[in-house]
Amino acid sequence: MPDRLQVWLDDLHVADIERRRRNDVRLRLRYTDEALERWPRNTPLVSCSLPLSDRPAHALAFFTGLLPEGAALAALAARARTSVIDTFGLLDRYGRDIAGALVVSRDAPDEGRFDLERYDDAGLAEEVGGLDENPLGIHDDSELSLAGLQNKLLLVKDGTGWARPLHGRPSTHILKAEDRRYPGLAQAEADCLELARAAGLTFVDSHVHVFAGVPCLITERYDRTVAANGAVGRVHQEDLCQAVGVDGASNRGRTKYQRRAGGGPGLREAALLLDTYAEDTAEALGRLVSAVAFTVAIGNADAHAKNLSLLHDTATTIRLAPLYDTVPTVLWPNLTDEAAMSINGRFPLGQLTLADITDEAASWPFDHDAAERAARETIERVRTAAAGLGSERLASIVVSRCEALLAGRPAGG
């Protein structure tokens, strides 16, 4: 008999993931009878790449996408006494608080096991200071995972302050420690999240706090809800790599970049999914246009397919998730100016124009005039908000890029 883990969604056992033997790295997802009886076939229940079906499906790419990359993955594997390629074993150990609404476990989720360990300021500073050696702040009672390379902590915030989630207790916030190679990164990302809020492209709150001398960006999780009584709910989501069944961490993390050889999905794939599953296609594609315009306006060359996600509002519908990882890479001249995803068949961010953005949208296809209105409105909002930023250098660059785009010139002037 194959080894199985259960996949739970909103307290319903919707699927199992299976491997035939312990050293088999392949995974299959098999939907349960309860799921098959409740929803129509081809519903994107777990993922757009794993529509509801009577037949098992290869699911390694989606589930690998729930795990971190690089040193963080190696550290989690070492603590679990398994291999970095053992996705099944890693989810068995860390699958109870992951991105989205799924819970992966041997048995039914038990909220009675949930617990917290409070942080005082010194304790949180110590945890942040140890992230290089202990990515994600994993302890023996941690049952959590989060994708990405950057040093992070998953936190719970309640009326008494910050705490560490134990035994699969859903986290509410993500702390990202600043990469020492790029001083000012945390504040720059916080400033761009402020611009994204002004443009209507995100709603999450964020701020920068210094722990152990390390600036950290603390952001609300958009895939969590917090009720008046403090109960934390989960909202299902997936990134674009997962949604098309691509392992974004493969090829040493290059696959998530469309511009890299053998790279991953691009804007056309995102548009196709929204056209297929969004409740209001015109609104969904308009928001995608706005996200593209925002990326060009702030000079973000790292908007790859794992930094673009889809929210599953219902079992049958999706929409573009709030923007996150909004890094103005243009601030660091040593970083590439090549966009992570092609826009109108082009990659150099500084050479892109408003016409490139609207022509890209028209190729999905999307109404050209509607695309231009959405892009122009977003750029105007970003320009207005950028003028009020505390960072004069970032404000100057973003205002200049916006004015160039609105005048029909390349963003880089």
Domain boundaries, the chain: 3-105, 113-224, 229-406
Catalytic residue positions, numbered: 302
Q: What are phi and psi of 257, to 5 degrees?
A: -95, 120
Looking up tokens 């945890």 gives: 127
Cβ pair 68, 76 in contact under 8 A: yes
What local confidence, expressed as pLDDT, does residue 219 receive?
97
**pLDDT value of position 249:** 81
Q: Domain 113-224's class?
A: alpha beta
Identical fold for domains 113-224 and 229-406, yes or no, is no
Residue 358 CB coordination number (10 Å): 25
pLDDT tens column, 314-370: 999 999 999 999 999 999 999 999 999 999 999 999 999 999 999 999 999 999 999
281-298 helix and 368-386 helix, angle to the nearest 10 degrees: 40
Q: How confident is the model at residue 262 (pLDDT cuts 50, 70, 90)?
A: low
- Return the pLDDT at 254: 84
Question: What is the DSSP pairing of strand 57-58 with strand 28-31?
Answer: antiparallel
Q: Which of 239, 68, 235 is nearest to 152 (CA)?
A: 68
Which position has the higher pLDDT, 265 or 22?
265
Q: Quick one: pLDDT at residue 1?
A: 61
Rounded Cα gap, residues 192 and 197, in angstroms? 9
Bridge partners, 58 (sequence order): 28
DSSP state of 181: T
- DSSP letters for 386-412: HTT-S-HHHHHHHHHHHHHHHTTS-TT
Q: What is the pLDDT of residue 263?
A: 76
- From 22-31, 168-177, 274-283, 355-364, the region with the lowest mean pLDDT: 22-31
Local structure of residue 187 (DSSP, 8 states):
H
pTM for this one?
0.96
- What crossing angle do the helices spanning 392-406 and 368-386 adopt, rounded to 10°? 150
Which residue has 């509607």 as its token pair? 370
270/320 Cα distance (integer angstroms) = 9
Through-space distance between the first and last CA atoms of the chain, rounded to whole angstroms:
63
The CATH number of domain 229-406 is 1.10.10: no
